[in-house]
Structure 1
Amino acid sequence: MPKAAVRRVDWRSGLGDFSDCLLAGLLVALASVPVVTAPAGFVAGCRALDRARHGIVRPLWTTFWADFRQAARGGVPFGAVVVVAAVLVAVDLEVTRSMPGAGVLGPVLQVLAAVGAVIAVRTCEVVAATELAWRRAVVAAARETVGAPGKALLVAVAVALSAVLVWMLPVLVLVVAGPLCLAAVATGARR
C-alpha cells in the first residue's frame, strides 16, 4: 500500500512564510507612497498573505499588483477620507492640550482614534476577503468591531505595536505593513 505524501514541516517552511510576510510589507510600502493608495495596498497585501496562508502558490509580486489595481478603484477615495480623518484627529489632539479639560478630552480622542484605526484596518481586510464595495465594507467592519471586541482588541494591539516599532526604528516602516496584514487576515478568519 503506497503511503500518502506528507508535507514536511521544518524551519524552512516557516522561513518562507516569514519572507512572504516581509515581501508583502515591502510591496504595501511601495504601493503606499502616494498616501491615499495605502488602503488599496493593504488590501492587496491581505489577499496575498491569505493565499499564502492557505497554500495557494502564486507569484506574490504579480498577484499583488493585480489585486492592488482592482482595490484601487474604490480604495483611493477611502484612503483620502482616512487621511483627512487622521489629520483632523491630530489637529484636535494638539488643540485639546491647551484647553481646560484636556485630561478628559485627550484620552477620549485617543480612544476614538484607536477605534478608527481598527475599523480602517478591518475594512481593508473585509474588502480583501469578501470583495464588498468599500462603503459596505466600512459598515461590516464597524459591526465586526462591535460584535467581536476580542478580535478588535487584537487588531488594536497589532496597530499599536506597529506604531511603536516604527517609532523605535523608522526604517521598519518599509516592512511593518506585512505583519499588520497578517494580523488583519488572522483575526478576520473568513475562510
Structure 2
Amino acid sequence: MRTLKRSTEWRTGLGDFSDCLLAGLLVALASVPVVTAAPAFVAGCRVLDRTRHDIGSPLWTTFWADFREAARGGVPFGLGCLAAVVLFAVDLEVVASMPGAGVLRPALWLLAVAGVVVAVRTCEVAATGGSAWRRSFVTAARETGAAPGKGLLLAVAAGVAALLVWMLPILALVVAGPLALAAVATGGRR
C-alpha cells in the first residue's frame, strides 16, 4: 500500500514539473515579439496558479486564452519594461566613464534587481489578482516594499534563471516556467 502511494506522488510531482516546463516553453514562444513578453509571463503565471490549485482545463488551451486576454493591456507594460532595460544599459555605459563608478555601478545594479522584482511581481499580480496593469504595478511595488523577504526570494529565483540561461542558453526556452511558478508561490494571494 505504501509503495503504491509513493509511486502516485512521484508521478504527480513529475506531472507538475512537466507542466512548469511546458508553461516556460509557451511563454518563450509567445515572447518571440519582445513586446509580448509581459502578457506571456502573465499567462504562464495564470496557468501555473491554476495547475497548483488543480483548477481548469488543459494547460495548452488555457495558456493561449489567458495570453490573448493579458495582451490587451500588457503590451504597453512590455514596452515600458523594454525601455527600462535600454535605459539601464545606457546608464551602465555612462556610469563607467564617471568618477565614483565603483560606488554607482553596484547601486545601479541593485536598482535594476529591484526593478526586475517589481516587474515580475506586477505580472504575477495581474495574473492572480485579475486587476488592470497600472493597479497591478502599484500593488506589486507596495507588496515588494512591505514583504522584502518575498522580494528577496523572487530576486534569487530571477538570478538563478539568468545564471542558468547564461550557462546554457538553450534553457531560455523553459526557464520562464520555473520563474513564473516562483512568482506565484511567493505571491500568496490565494
- TM-score class, shorter: over 0.9
Aligned length: 186
Tell me the amino acid that sits aligned with residue 23 of structure 2: A
SS where residue 190 of structure 1 aligns? Answer: coil
* TM-score for the superposition, normalised by structure 1: 0.95
Aligned to 1:29: 28
Aligned to 1:132: 131
Aligned to 2:103: 104
Tell me the amino acid that sits aligned with residue 55 of structure 2: I
Question: Is 1:75 equivalent to 2:74 in the alignment?
Answer: yes
Q: CA deviation at 1:145?
A: 0.2
In structure 1, how many angstroms separate the alpha carbons of the residues matched to 2:165 and 2:87?
22
The structure whose residues are more often helix, as a share, is 2
Tell me the amino acid that sits aligned with residue 183 of structure 1: A
1:130-180 alpha-carbon deviations (Å, 9 max, x no partner)? 111100110000000000000000000001110000000000000000000
In structure 1, how many angstroms separate the alpha carbons of the residues matched to 2:103 and 2:72?
40
Q: CA deviation at 1:7?
A: 11
1:53-108 alpha-carbon deviations (Å, 9 max, x no partner)? 01124111110000000000110000000000011001111221121110111011
In structure 2, how many angstroms separate the alpha carbons of the residues matched to 1:182 and 1:10?
19
Tell me the amino acid that sits aligned with residue 68 of structure 1: F
Aligned to 1:113: 112
Aligned to 1:150: 149
In structure 2, how many angstroms separate the alpha carbons of the residues matched to 1:40 and 1:57?
19
Aligned to 1:3: none
Aligned to 1:161: 160
1:31-57 alpha-carbon deviations (Å, 9 max, x no partner)? 100111001000000000011101124
Aligned to 1:141: 140
In structure 2, how many angstroms separate the alpha carbons of the residues matched to 1:38 and 1:70?
14
Q: CA deviation at 1:10?
A: 2.1
Q: CA deviation at 1:8?
A: 7.5
Aligned to 2:63: 64
Runs of at least 5 residues in structure 2 that lack an aligned partner in the other structure: none
In structure 1, how many angstroms separate the alpha carbons of the residues matched to 2:68 and 2:6?
34
Aligned to 1:180: 179
In structure 2, how many angstroms separate the alpha carbons of the residues matched to 1:35 and 1:57?
28
Aligned to 2:53: 54
SS where residue 54 of structure 2 aligns? Answer: coil
Instruction: State the identity as a percent.
Output: 72
CA RMSD of aligned residues (A): 1.3
Q: CA deviation at 1:29?
A: 0.2
In structure 2, how many angstroms separate the alpha carbons of the residues matched to 1:159 and 1:97?
25
In structure 2, how many angstroms separate the alpha carbons of the residues matched to 1:65 and 1:49?
13
Q: CA deviation at 1:9?
A: 4.0
Tell me the amino acid that sits aligned with residue 119 of structure 2: A
In structure 1, how many angstroms separate the alpha carbons of the residues matched to 2:185 and 2:24?
16
